[in-house]
Chain A
Amino acid sequence: MIIDRKKAPEFRAIDNINLIKPVKQKLDNGCNVFSFNSGDQDLVRIEWIFGNQRFDEKKPLLNVAVNTMLTDGTSTLTAAQIADKVDFYGAFLQVDYGYDNSQVVLYSLNKHLQHTLPVIKDILTDSVFPEKELETFIRNQQQKLQVSMQKNDFVARRGFNKALYGDTLYGLGAENDTYKTLRREDMLLFFKQMYQPSNCTIIVAGKIEPGILELITDTFDKKWVNSSEKSDTSQPELKPSAEHFYFIEKPDALQSAIRMGIPAINRNHPDFAALQVLNTILGGYFGSRLMANIREDKGYTYGIGSGMSALKHGGALFIATEVGADVCKAAVNEIEKELNLLQTELITEEELSLVRNFLLGSLLGSLENVFSHADKFKNLYFAGLDYDYYDYYDRYVETVKTVTAGHLQELAKQYLNFNQFYKVIVGKY
């Protein structure tokens, strides 16, 4: 067979995305349960997601400490017993602290769920934060912080968040002494306020066989009541700093970490999807402008990218990289050039059509299994967009397919001004 290797095979654009719809159930105690039933493996992932409590700058670590220490003991189970029970049944128990929510996640085979669920019930209703475990937590966190502070990219990220968000959960950067503000009594009260059904959303994903949902609702409805304490999930105003440039010198650095960007819109804004397209072109995929120039043409770095963080109370568009210390200034200049280019020159249809296809393929690929469907839903639900879920992705697909170069240029003028960017450099400059 003679084939023409110079000619690319025919391809098809992606036109439809099938999202798995969750079944919603509201429990009498106020907790919402969303379940996604799909998959061949006899297993489930269950997430208990709680809105973070209001940030208190005098006790800034309560959200993260209470979440992290949920597995450290209840009045009937020690940390060791909790770990034993979970591990014995081959399950995985995680606690995850995020900027807006904190969660407990259980991965379990269906056949063991009757043994693993009661452990979760126990830690969500009866955690006691033993004094000795708290000491261990503080000591280990302080040690880890010392190591992280030697990593330039970590220091740059902290500096950037602090500049953009000020003294809030988003801008928090703990110091060694910050851990000394943690008190067991505060944690116990905080736990009572935050971890209750009215502040909880349960998301179940996997092969939901008959009986599974009943098992879950039995454990987390009638047997789980709200406490007398009220949860307060409002948050203080974000306070962006007046100073836009931060240079933290590390005389021995072989590379400098660069992080720069600007407060931007989140999912609630009609331009969000279009800005995602622009971000992709700038630094959101391997063939992006920043990668093509600063890695693939100049060889200044192993990697450079841009991203958008979409949080409940704000968002940001940012660029991050680590570059050779001797080429740090040159790299910053190239970043500035790329930003300016997007404002002054229209993106060609050739580049734009590539990015359209890439984004649609990557949306399709991001729905790999039932867990990823649940994750997609969470992105929107916790942005307050649950009822528009399917519309949202329809509109996203529509925007990706039709956004014009002119519109993207307008967005570039609005959001990609180098002079308005917050810039943090750690290393040499």
Chain B
Amino acid sequence: MVKFNRFTLDNGLRVLVHEDNTTPMAVLNILYDVGARDEDPDQTGFAHLFEHLMFGGSVNIPNYDEPLQRVGGENNAFTSNDITNYYITLPSANLETAFWLESDRMLSLAFSEKSLEVQRNVVIEEFKQRYLNQPYGDVWLKLRPLVYKKHPYQWATIGKEIKHIEDAKIEDVKAFFKKHYNPQNAIIVVGGNVKTEDIKQLSEKWFGSIPAGEKYHRNLPQEPEQHDERRSTVTAKVPLNDVYIAFQMGARLDKSYYAAELISDILSRGNSSRLYRNLVKEKELFSEVHAYMSGSLDKGMFVFEGKPLENVSTETAEAAIWEELERIKTELIPADELIKVKNKIESTMIFSEMALLDKAMNLASFELLGDADLLNHETGKYLAVTAEEIKNLSNEIFRRDNSSTLIYLAEKA
């Protein structure tokens, strides 16, 4: 159970407070309701580049990091296809510094040309480091456009290509800020050794005078249902073949989400999971094989990924994954196996309450979904899933004509 208090400022900024006096620390987490899905198809990677620019100085504070480090704080941020999230951890006695810094950059950035130039380079190096200079690093750049034909999930947060980042101009940066970075599009969670009354005062003091700005109304092209089997093969200088099979699945708020996650746990969570036991250990077909979900706010992906052993063809490997899918589509999950994955969900939820930052981020995410209190009802929703629901959902998702298969072949030397 993660308790919290909640209030909204006149400018539309939502603030949640989680009091936890077991720690001398505090966190301030700000979620901005903007991600790579909100980008122009010709300017991809922009939400993430923008995240870097948020550290390039704001209108009244030339350097963001230095004053925070001076009070013993640390910060970081991440961008996903759906959101951009910034967080600060610092001794709770110095919490006001976090309010000062975050409110100033919500008010306005410095928009420095030098910062833009440097961060373009940094992001290009990030592009190389994570996507181009790693074996299999570019797989998402290839798989996403196979699964999504209309929806902006067809590109990764880093962007479609380096050129989009090279071309970013300061005017684009300003327009993006105006459109997305205002109180109405943000959710703040303050957690740790704090009192709600103090947070109300600090929020009014530092964020209260920031203009509400214009509300961004999202109107994205939705991905049509898939009715064709898709397939692509690439060859690259990698040591081993790799097989990816992705399926379209429901959005995060879809009722089926909970059954889908249990399916992924049954198939791939831990050493007792079906794929590991049957395909790695018993049939000795893969060195590793996994299933996971993108968990995205719009229509998601349910992905299988496996590296077959060297003497196993990709056709055999693919067929073995399908065999497991057929089994879950035709046979009801035994009661013990269902209890097992539910127990794991329950304990994971309890363990996650050990980490202050995780709690703050979770509250922010669920508030974005509609109500932070949903967090406290998650376990119950998983526990309510039945074996029939799992079988039915498996039949809905794991259809050939809902699949996108990417075969990544090792170039023979």
Contact = CB atoms under 8 A, between A and B. Distances in A.
Interface in B270-314: 270-272, 277, 280-281, 284, 287-288, 307, 309-310
A300 interface: yes
A107 B270 CA distance: 14
A418 B103 CA distance: 42
A270 B334 CA distance: 60
A324 B128 contact: yes
Contacts of A329: none
Given A5-B107, A71-B271, A302-B129, A357 B121 contact: no
Contacts of A255: 125, 128-129, 133
B54 interface: no
Interface stretch (B167-175, B180-188, B350-358, B398-406): B350-358
Contact of A299 (B99, B125, B287, B351): B125
Given A43-B347, A88-B340, A11 B70 contact: yes
Interface residues of B, number: 83
Interface stretch (A237-245, A311-319, A360-368): A360-368
A83 B270 contact: yes
B243 to A, nearest CB: 14
Interface stretch (A21-29, A51-59, A141-149): A141-149
Contacts of A234: none
Contact of A6 (B61, B71, B119, B121): B61
A369 B281 CA distance: 37
Contact of A80 (B281, B350, B356): B281
Contact of A369 (B70, B121, B239, B355): B355
B315 interface: no
B248 interface: no
Contacts of A151: 134-135
B133 A253 contact: yes
B272 A83 contact: yes
Interface stretch (A34-42, A192-200, A220-228): A34-42
B26 to A, nearest CB: 10
A295 B66 CA distance: 15
B193 to A, nearest CB: 11
B375 interface: no
A302 B271 contact: no
Interface stretch (B86-94, B142-150, B362-370): B86-94
Nearest to B311: A139
B389 to A, nearest CB: 21
Interface in A61-115: 71, 79-80, 82-84, 86-92, 107-109
Interface in A149-168: 149-152
Chain A residues touching B, majority SS? mixed
Contact of B287 (A40, A139, A362, A364): A139
Interface in B3-23: 22-23
B137 to A, nearest CB: 10
A42 B269 CA distance: 23
The interface size bin for chain A is 35 or more
A252 B237 contact: yes
A269 interface: no
B222 interface: no
Nearest to A371: B354
A285 interface: yes
A143 B129 CA distance: 22
A357 B133 contact: no
B335 to A, nearest CB: 12
Interface in B76-120: 89-91, 93-94, 96-97, 99-100, 103-104, 107, 117-120
Contacts of A10: 96
B309 to A, nearest CB: 7
A300 B129 CA distance: 11
B380 interface: no
Given A14-B72, A71-B271, A150-B239, A140 B280 contact: yes
A354 interface: yes
A12 B93 contact: yes
Chain B residues touching A, majority SS? helix
Given A91-B347, A140-B288, A362 B72 contact: yes
Interface in B209-252: 209, 237-240
A1 B205 contact: yes
Given A11-B94, A39-B354, A360-B72, A254 B270 contact: no
A43 B349 CA distance: 12
Contacts of A349: none
A136 B129 contact: no
A368 B240 contact: no
A143 B208 CA distance: 57
Contacts of A144: 287-288
Nearest to B99: A9
B69 A357 contact: yes
B118 A354 contact: no
A226 B100 CA distance: 60
Nearest to B345: A90
B122 A299 contact: yes
B75 to A, nearest CB: 8
Contacts of A139: 284, 287, 309
A94 B324 CA distance: 26
B318 interface: no
Interface string A355-393: 101101110110011010000000000000000000000
A329 B159 CA distance: 28
A358 B67 contact: no
Contacts of B135: 147, 150-151
Contacts of A362: 72, 74
B121 A354 contact: no
Contacts of A108: 347
A296 interface: yes
A246 interface: no
A9 B70 CA distance: 12
B152 interface: no
Contacts of B25: 364-365, 368
25 contacts: A5-B61, A5-B103, A9-B96, A9-B100, A41-B353, A80-B277, A84-B340, A86-B270, A139-B284, A139-B287, A147-B238, A150-B134, A151-B134, A285-B74, A286-B74, A286-B75, A297-B118, A299-B121, A324-B128, A354-B69, A355-B69, A361-B91, A365-B89, A369-B22, A369-B23
The 5 A-B pairs at the shortest CB distance, nearest first, are namely A361-B72, A299-B121, A90-B347, A90-B343, A83-B271
Given A254-B133, A255-B133, A358-B74, 6 more contacts: A5-B60, A43-B347, A88-B339, A139-B309, A358-B70, A358-B73
